[in-house]
């Protein structure tokens, strides 16, 4: 037992402590947004790599709610004397209480050990995988073939880029700017090695080599395209180079699986995640988008429910000319983007609180760590010692 009075603390969009009760409540809120569609018959086996946060968490909850069983893999920090466990640790503990016949592994998804553990668990308990969802966002990766540690960077390519930014000073929104120098070739390559499709392919190869791909196997890697407003730092930058590699990997995997399965990238819409808050201009863009889109702004759980409906044949599979499954049509609707651009070009520190949903954005950032979740008593002591779910 370890009861503590907790405060968020932190710097910028990073917080020191997670709130166990708030993290659990945030999972409950997501769970309640998904309609239960469990049907009689065989329950498909799902593997979600990156299951504790963002779209990966939403994909896990939606899969379980729709009747799947399987494995979630994530890499989370336990409690220490100075800090709570990570928010993803507490979210996973709550997720395990809600779902039926799931196992959660705390392991570095990039490492061969995680793949070996999953293969063993599948062989002993679940059998072949019907669906593999890959949703990993990490700052670094060690290449298992070479032992080299690659570190990703968030930089433009070719030319420097000055981005509008949104920060908070004592919770007051401030619009500023940040100039980023272009990445060199080594930085671009490292980012591709971390955030591209190399590890996704290793997961598919590990399952295939062990004979653990079910007939009609489907794998999907989550990605993002975004607006022309953020393209210089995102789609046309180092991250974009990695996403292009991810899409090429999808085509290679799809050819490799021909006659046995299929591979896609799934383009989700904008969301407030730990990965997205690290990208200059994304905070301001997403805040404006939420104000402009209003009820059209789709949650991660709604988008992942739509993904599963398409992948399982409940709904028509909607792909673009590049073969990508698109869930971001609400974000890139021309009228929405035109109105976002109008606000983007005129917004200032004096008007940002009225023209962008800054309060909503700040609440979303807090909720990533279990803070600012409606209905949670933050004055009460919290039990911070929570066990990782047992197999």
SS3 232: coil
Q: Above 90 in pLDDT, residue 21?
A: yes
DSSP H helices in the chain: 20-32, 54-65, 87-98, 112-121, 185-195, 198-209, 238-256, 282-293, 300-311, 329-332, 334-346, 352-355, 358-368
Q: What is the pLDDT of residue 40?
A: 64
For the stretch 337-383, pLDDT in tens is: 999 999 999 999 999 999 999 999 999 999 999 999 999 999 999 99
Catalytic residue of the set 134, 161, 234, 285: 234
Q: Above 80 in pLDDT, residue 173?
A: yes
Q: Above 90 in pLDDT, residue 391?
A: no
Q: Are 388 and 92 in contact (CB under 8 A)?
A: yes
User: Could you tell me what percent of the chain has a pLDDT over 90?
Assistant: 87
Q: Above 80 in pLDDT, residue 20?
A: yes
pLDDT confidence band for 36 (50 / 70 / 90): confident
**Which residue ranges make up each domain of the chain?**
3-139+187-273+300-329+367-383
For the stretch 284-328, pLDDT in tens is: 999 999 999 999 999 999 999 999 999 999 899 989 999 999 999
Strand partners of residue 185 = none
Exposure pattern of 376-385 as b/e (b: 16+ CB <10 Å)?
bebeeebebe
Q: What is the pLDDT of residue 185?
A: 97
Of 134 and 167, the structure prediction assigns the larger pLDDT to 134
- Residue 224 DSSP label: E
Decide if domain 3-139+187-273+300-329+367-383 falls under CATH 3.40.50.720: yes
Q: What pTM value is reported for the model?
A: 0.96
Average pLDDT estimate for 254-266: 96
Which range among 111-125, 272-286, 330-344, 361-375 shows the weakest confidence by mean pLDDT? 272-286
For the stretch 69-112, pLDDT in tens is: 999 999 999 999 889 999 999 999 999 999 999 999 999 999 99
234 in active site: yes
Q: Cα–Cα distance between 325 and 330 in angstroms, integer? A: 14
Q: Cα–Cα distance between 217 and 130 in angstroms, integer? A: 5
Q: What is the pLDDT of residue 235?
A: 92
Which range among 3-12, 43-52, 261-270 shows the weakest confidence by mean pLDDT? 3-12
Q: What is the pLDDT of residue 39?
A: 63
């Amino acid at each position: 037992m370890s009861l503590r009075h907790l405060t968020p603390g932190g710097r910028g969009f990073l917080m020191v402590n997670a709130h166990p009760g708030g993290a659990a409540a945030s999972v409950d809120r997501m769970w309640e947004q998904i309609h239960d569609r469990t049907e009689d018959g065989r329950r498909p086996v799902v593997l979600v790599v990156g299951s504790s946060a963002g779209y990966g968490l939403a994909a896990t909850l939606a899969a379980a709610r729709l009747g799947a069983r399987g494995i979630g893999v994530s890499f989370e920090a336990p409690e220490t004397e100075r800090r709570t466990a990570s928010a993803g640790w507490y979210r996973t503990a709550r997720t395990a209480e809600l779902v039926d016949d799931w196992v959660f592994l705390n392991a570095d998804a990039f490492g061969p050990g995680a793949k070996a553990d999953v293969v063993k668990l599948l062989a002993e308990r679940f059998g072949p995988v019907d669906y593999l969802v890959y949703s990993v966002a990490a700052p670094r990766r060690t290449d298992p073939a070479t032992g080299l540690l690659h570190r990703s960077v968030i930089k433009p390519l070719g030319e420097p880029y000055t981005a509008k930014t949104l920060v908070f000073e004592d919770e007051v929104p401030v619009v500023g700017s940040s100039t980023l120098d272009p990445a060199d070739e080594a930085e671009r390559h490292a980012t591709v090695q971390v955030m591209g499709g190399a590890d996704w392919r290793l997961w598919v190869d590990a399952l295939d080599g062990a004979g653990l791909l079910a007939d009609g196997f489907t794998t999907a890697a989550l990605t993002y395209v975004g607006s022309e407003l953020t393209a210089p730092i995102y789609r046309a930058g180092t991250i974009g180079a990695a996403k292009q590699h991810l899409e090429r990997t999808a085509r290679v995997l799809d050819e490799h699986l021909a006659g046995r399965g299929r591979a896609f990238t799934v383009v989700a819409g904008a969301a407030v995640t730990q990965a997205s808050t690290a990208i200059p201009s994304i905070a301001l863009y997403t805040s404006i988008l939420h104000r402009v889109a209003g009820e059209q702004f789709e949650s991660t759980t709604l988008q992942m429910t739509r993904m599963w409906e398409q992948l399982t044949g409940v709904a028509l599979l909607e792909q673009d000319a590049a073969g990508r499954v698109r869930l971001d049509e609400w974000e890139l609707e021309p009228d929405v983007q035109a109105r976002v651009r109008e606000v983007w070009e005129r917004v200032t520190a004096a008007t940002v609180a009225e023209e962008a949903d800054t309060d909503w954005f700040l609440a979303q950032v807090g909720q990533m760590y279990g803070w600012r979740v409606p209905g949670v008593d933050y004055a009460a002591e919290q039990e911070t010692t929570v066990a990782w779910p047992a197999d």
